[in-house]
Structure formats: C-alpha cells, structure tokens
Structure 1
C-alpha cells in the first residue's frame, strides 16, 4: 500500500481532485520529502460544501444498520493495514513507531465504537401530565442529523483525532467536509481511501487541504451546520469568533497538571509521570507538563522520575526501540528550546535534557520553576516536565483553578477523602485518579473548560452534538 512518496489529493463529490499548488510533506527526522497534498482554492471549497449538502440527504436516508456495517468495515480494514499506516504516520510526523501503532489501534476502536453508536441514537418521552395544559397530550424528543459537519484536525494524533470527527459524523447520518492538518495528511489519506472503498454515498465525505484561509472560509460558510475542531486555543478562539451562530465543539490546549499526595505510591506515580510527560515528544494536550508533589515526598519523587526519564531513548522514529521521536518540525523544537532556556535564565534548574538536536528535543526535567514561567503557565507541547513542591492541598486547588486551562488532571493518593475533596474542588474537564493527566480511552466524554474548550468528544457524546433534537407533540 505505502509507496516512498504518497500524495494526498482532495476528495469532492466522490472524486479525487488534484491541484497545481502542492504542499510538500517533510519527514522531520530525515529531512526528505515523503509526499504532498493538493491545496484547495475557495472554488474547491464551494464544490466540497455543495457536494456535502447533497451527500447529507443520502446519509440521512441511510438506515442505522447500514451505517454501522460500513463503519465496522472501516475498522477492520484499518486494523489489517496497521503496520503500513503506522510507518507512514511516523515518517510524516516524527512520532515513535510504537506510538504510531498505538494510534492506529485507537482509530480502530473509534470507528468500532462509532459503529455501535450508529444503532443507538435515541430520543425520549417527555411527560406532559405534570400540568393541566399538558395533560392528555404526548411529547417526544427525537434526534436527527444536523446535516453538514465541518471538521478541522491537528497534527499530533492525526489519524485517531480525525477518526473522532469522521466516524461519529457518519454514524449520526451526516455528511462531512474535512480539513486535515497541513503537516500530517498522508496517513489520514489512507484512512479516507478506506472510508471511500467501503461504499458511503457520494458526497458523504469530502476533503480539502489548505491553510488558515481555507479553514476560515470553511467555518464561516452558511452551508455548514456544525463545526468540530481540535487544536490550539488561539485557533479555537478564532473559530468560535468566526462561526456565527453555528454550534461548535472545541478540544483545545492544556498544561497537564498531575498531583502527587503524601500517601501516594511514589514509584508508580513517578514512573507514570516520566513516560507520560515524554511520549509523543510531549505533543499531546493532556501530556504531563506540571507535577505538584507534596513536599515531604518531593526529593524521592524527583529521584525516581529522573532515573526513568534518563532511560528513555531519543532517536529514529522508525526504530522500534525509540521512545521519543522528533517534534513536528524544527521550528517547534526551537520554540521548546527557547522556553527551557528562558526558564533556566530565570532560576529554573535543568536536571536532565535541555538540548535540541534539529527537530528533536531531549526529554527535559525542570525544578525550581516559577508559576509565571512559560513552561508552567502555557502549553509547552514538547518533552518537558516541571516539578513543584506543595505544602497544603489548598495550594494545589488554587494553582489548578487559576490556570487558563482546564482539560484534565491526574491525582495520585491512597485516600478516598483526599480524592473526593479534590474532585469537588478542581475545575477541569476530567480527573484521573491514581493516574496522570494523560490517560484517555476513546469512549470517554473527553474535553475541557475555560481555554481548554467546550463540548465533549467520544463517539456517543460527539453524536449528541452532531444531531438536532426535534420536539414532536401529539394532541390526542
């Protein structure tokens, strides 16, 4: 299936479409070109949305069991091609191939879970006899597809996060216009080909490649009914501002707070934090970025985490022994390097790492950081973890809730009382008990608060967003 060079054309009304303007896809580790994507014009976008409007009618008429069957076929085909798709993903993204294989496994789950939800879309009976006016009447809330879904996906987990847009949209009976990430469209391209091959109606899935201009026009277009986006807080803010009255689901950034209380299993906590701060080269919105450790356990925790981080292998993403590959490109690595250098100049201590190699950055552990440093208060999106001590849990609550982010946090403790105290007080979209902020499985209601976004992903929850409720009242 995979060739040395793979193109990613547009897909409009069931036909592949090329372009004179080709965007090269560069392997961030080797520096060679591995493919190219066909850049859309505004005219191409108009065609894609027009095709989706027609495709939406065909999708709405398709019975749930047929949508289920096709989505399950996609899952099976992805599973069968996992090795080749993962290799392609590692080439274009610099992601360690073990992580790429895990991502394809999760995309399989996402399509399979969406297939199951396609036959479980249900409304409810609304009792009216609670008032004299309603007595004797019957009311029902039914769910129908919204129509056309616009989806914009990121580079850090491109296959699975695209699956989280495409599979629920199709399961709900919608058509979709997808804008893949400019940096990593190639593995997505193979998934799109598989969706086409299993036989969805013409126009059910349309794909346009491009930058900010195409994205801005897509979300503002009156032919779009719902927008789903995963990416930076800055871009999400612009999408919300430009979307008019359309509903949006925004899964945005985070700063990965994990709390280690005095009664925690320090070895388990440090081991998990070491791996989950560095996997995907830290390019995950729930990557462990800041660890708050009760002061009496601080030194022991740091010692164990440091040993575990030093064991991680930085290297060729295609080497199965590699733990940490590159960042998405050299510019991203330079930004991480500058943030670490700035922290060091302002008093932070680098215990390990802190060195960039082209598009790669060594796994880095910082202590003596201050809350106002970029590496703490903003999203690093790189292989960097900062460790801070605390004396009282009220400090933890204040630190977490003062952040502009609120995606997920982790808590390590043996105390149910401590757990429920924090669950009540921490204002985040998710709390992982005896685990890090990084944990996610694909059926969860996943999302954040504040600058981390709005709405929830996960097939069941995305389908709720991608369907409209319609009230039906019977006067009998």
Structure 2
C-alpha cells in the first residue's frame, strides 16, 4: 500500500502553515495538507534543474523501463489508488477504478512512446546547392516542466503530464489541485520505487494562483502545462513569455442525435446518461448540450429521463453508487443558481434540479436559450439540456454557437451528414456515433477557441515537451 505521510512530512518540515483537506461527499476533514511557501517552490525548481542532468543522461530504454515498472506497480495496487481517488475527490469507486485502469494504460503508452520519439530525414538536395549533405532532425528534452492540475482526475490527468515529461527526459514539478493532492503524491512514491532519479518528479501542495505564479515567472521552468479554467489559462498565456505552454481549458460538449438513428434511441439515451452524469458531470468533456432532431425528440427524451431517474445517489465507496456529493458547497450553490436562472428565463425542468445532501439530483432541461449560463458556460455539474432542432444544419449552427471547442459528438447513419459535421464542427475532436465524453489516452487531445492551446495525448504531449533540432552533415566538404 502506498502511503502519502512520508512525502507530506517532508513538505511539512519546510511549511509554516497547513490547510484542511475535505472529503467532498461527507464534508468531513481528512487531514491537514502543507501550505507550501514560495521558497519551497523555488527550492523544488532548483532541485528539478539538478535532477535534469540525470534524466537527460538516461537512455530512452531506461526511461521506458521506469515508466513501465510504475505502470505495473499501480496495477498491482489498483484498489489502494482507487480508494484514495474516491476519498479526496468524492468520485464513485467504480469510476475511480476506471481512472486507475486508464492511468496504468497512460503510463504504458508513455513507456512505448519514450522509445519511439524520432525525427525525420530531410533531402537537402531538393534545394539548389543542397547536395552533398545528410540532414535530419532529433528531439531533445527541454528541462524543467511545471504542471498545474485539476481536481476531477487527480491521478490520470497528473499522469498525462508526468508520463510524457519523464518519457522525453525532462523533470517535472506538479502543483496539484488543493482539493486532491494525495493521488499525485502516491504517484511520486511509485515512481521512486520504479527507479526514477531523485527530484525528477516533485509535488508541491498549496495555493494554486500563488505557487503557479512562481512556476510561471521562474526562468528555469521551460514549460507550463495547465488544465483548468479559461480565465486562468488566458492569464498564464499572457504571463508565460517565451515558455512553451499547453492549456486544456474545458468545454460544454455538444451532441447531435439524428432521425436516421431512430431505432437506436434507447441505447443512445443510456449512453448519454453516462456521458452527462458520470462523476456528477465534473468532467471537462461531460455531455452538456444535446440537440435532437424534432422527429425523434419526444422518444429520446422519454428514454433519457427514464435512465436518468434510475441513477443512484449514495456513498461513493459503494460500487452501486452513480452519484455522490459535488466537490464543494460553493460549486453546489452555483450549479443550483444556474438551474434556477434558466428556469426563470423560460427553460423547462424535466427532472432533477434539487439539492440532495451534498450533491444535486441529475438535471434535464429543455427549451434552453443559447444565452443561458447552462448553455453557454461550462456547468461542471450534473446538468444537461435537450433542445429540439429541425435538421443537422440547424444542429451544427447551435453546436458551434459556443465559446468552447474541445469535443463534440453526433449519432447519425447519414454518411454525407457525418462528414459535414466532422469537417465543420469547430472543435478539436469530433466523435461520430460516439459521445463527446470520450477520450482514449493516446489520441491527440486539444481544443479550439476558449478550450485550450496545444495538444495532450502521450505522443503529442511529448513533442510539445521537447525541442526539435535540425542537423546537417556536409560530407562533400
């Protein structure tokens, strides 16, 4: 079993203050977490810079083997890691187990890609006077990476930054969400056992804006990788100067359901319930906006409401639980206020919309205005709108009427329509005959508009954490 106390004690030795870590479902205190100082972050950066000399000296095979061993260790301790995710995030245990499985796979992909990061051969003799030369590109590590991660996937989203950084040969410092630091610390303990050089991966806990600013401003940090809100992402981009940056900033994922799939409506509705309400909708690509062709809207809504009302609220440690408490009271109050505002503006409540202990009953709204917060902002809660459209062209217009552009999905058996949607939806990832709440850990993952800047997905993240160098050998000289 991987404990966190020894790592936390090291942080406490230099920390003057602590803050309480709260269980989101029960709102009870779990433990005190070190509120690290700016000086601790500066010291971590210095340690990370020193460790970089060891990391870049490792062969790609050695880095690959470390990541592969870490993957195996987590797989062997799956239940322990899942319980930690559930404890600190309130995520129902079956979703936490799924997150651990994905983390194991993410590290496997990082292990594989560490061996495959290759440049290309370039024919310089294609240019005038270029003959007599062999030319090629290579990828080299950049140094210290600073990562700022969110609460909703406290293990796998950390691993999506840590795996590529270490696979390339960089070092990395993670500033985890204040609400979910334990999973990131457990990952550090695993990587140490797997043979990672000391200080190649460090976790610094505490206030995000303050400690994040140290990472952004420090000249020895070569890249910032951030997952969080558009407001903070835009601030980071404006302040990062010439640092490399990757920003994953969320979405209000849209889904279109065409009349051509009328015989599949029950199956699609059941899938959409999972996409909309898994982990209380606290997922960057949660299905938030559903546009249904008017000819099948009534039937779809019947199945969708029925499946939604069958969900179970309860103890997140119970495998039968579908819904639990949202991350904190502030979020709970905001989500309820947005629902009430939408209803006051003319939306109709189909089901849900109620405070339920520390959570919110899963909520379906219809006839929602495009200007309603529920529609144009990221809810990050168990709320979905179902609006009627007259055609796929109408749906396309509504789906693109958003400041976000991460994932979108469509269910259709009309092939020309599918291609049109795939090409014209203003998002980074289009998923035909799948939910927008879909991500495989090796696929490219990046957003347009306010959804982000740069790409994640193991291979793609590695290239954004490396320098590409061009080399020419003039053998005719």
Bucket of the pairwise TM-score, normalised by the shorter protein? over 0.9
* TM-score, structure 2 normalization: 0.96
What displacement does 1:474 show? 1.2
Task: Say yes or no: does 1:49 pair with 2:45.
Answer: yes
Q: State the match for 2:423 in structure 1.
A: 424
Matching residue of 2:123: 127
TM-score normalised by length of structure 1: 0.96
Structure 1 residue 70 displacement after superposition: 0.8
Does 2:212 align with 1:215?
Answer: yes
Q: 1:266 is paired with a residue of what secondary structure?
A: helix
Q: Does 1:61 align with 2:60?
A: no
CA-CA distance at 1:6 after TM superposition: 5.4
Aligned pairs (5 A) from 1:313-324: 313-324=312-323
String of CA shifts for 1:329-351, please: whole Å, max 9, x gaps.
11111111110011111111111
Alignment of structure 1 residues 216-231 onto 2, 5 Å: 216-231=213-228
Deviations 1:287-328 (A, max 9, x none): 000000011111111011000001111111111110111211
5 Å-filtered alignment, 1:36-435, equals 36-211=32-207, 212-264=209-261, 265-435=264-434
Deviation at 1:198, TM superposition (A): 1.7
Q: In the aligned structure 1, how far is the partner of 2:189 from the partner of 2:146? A: 19
Conserved 8 A contact 1:143-1:468: yes
* RMSD of aligned residue pairs (Cα, Å): 1.5
Aligned in 2, Cα 1:10/1:57: closer, same or farther, shift over 3 Å?
A: farther
Change (3 A) 1:417 1:61: same
Distance 2:206 2:239 in 1: 17
User: How far apart are the structure 2 equivalents of 1:37 and 1:115?
Assistant: 31
Instruction: Give the Cα separation in 2 of the matches to 1:233 and 1:10.
Output: 34
Instruction: State whether structure 2 residue 449 is matched by structure 1 residue 453.
Output: no
Separation in 1, partners of 2:383, 2:112: 38
Deviations 1:32-83 (CA, angstroms, capped at 9, x unpaired)? 2112321221111111111111111110100111111111111111111111
Question: In the TM superposition, what is the alpha-carbon distance from 1:363 to its structure 2 partner?
Answer: 0.5
Distance 1:420 1:160 in 2: 32
Q: Is the 8 Å Cα contact of residues 422 and 432 (structure 2) preserved in structure 1? A: no
Q: Tell me how far 1:8 sits from its aligned partner.
A: 5.8
Q: Is the 8 A contact 2:184 2:203 kept in 1?
A: no
1:10 deviation in Å? 7.9
Per-residue CA deviations over 1:70-110 (Å, capped at 9, x if unaligned) read: 11111111111111221121111111111111101111111
SS at the partner of 2:295? helix
- Matched pairs, number: 472
SS at match of 1:464: helix
Tell me the CA shift for residue 394 of structure 1: 2.1
Q: Which runs of 5+ in 2 are unaligned?
A: none
- Which segment drifts farther, 456-465 or 32-41? 32-41
Measured at CA, do residues 11 and 63 of structure 1 come closer, stay the same or move farther in structure 2, by a change above 3 Å?
farther
Provide the secondary structure at the position in 1 that maps to 2:126: coil
Match of 2:404, SS state, is coil
Paired residues of 1:6 and 1:186 also in contact (CA < 8 A): no
Q: Alpha carbons of 1:116 and 1:427: their partners in 2 closer, same or farther (altered >3 Å)? A: same
Do the aligned partners of residues 7 and 431 (structure 1) sit closer, same or farther apart at CA in structure 2, a change above 3 Å counting? farther
1:414, CA displacement in angstroms?
1.0
SS of the equivalent of 2:105 reads helix
Q: Give per-residue Cα distances to partners, 1:413-462, cap 9 Å, x unaligned.
A: 11211110111111101011111110111111111111000111111111
Runs (5+) with no aligned partner, structure 1? none
Aligned partners of 1:368 and 1:228: how far apart in 2?
Answer: 38
Alpha carbons of structure 1 residues 317 and 209: separation in structure 2 relative to 1, 3 Å:
same
C-alpha distance in 1, partners of 2:2/2:324?
21
Change (3 A) 1:246 1:199: same
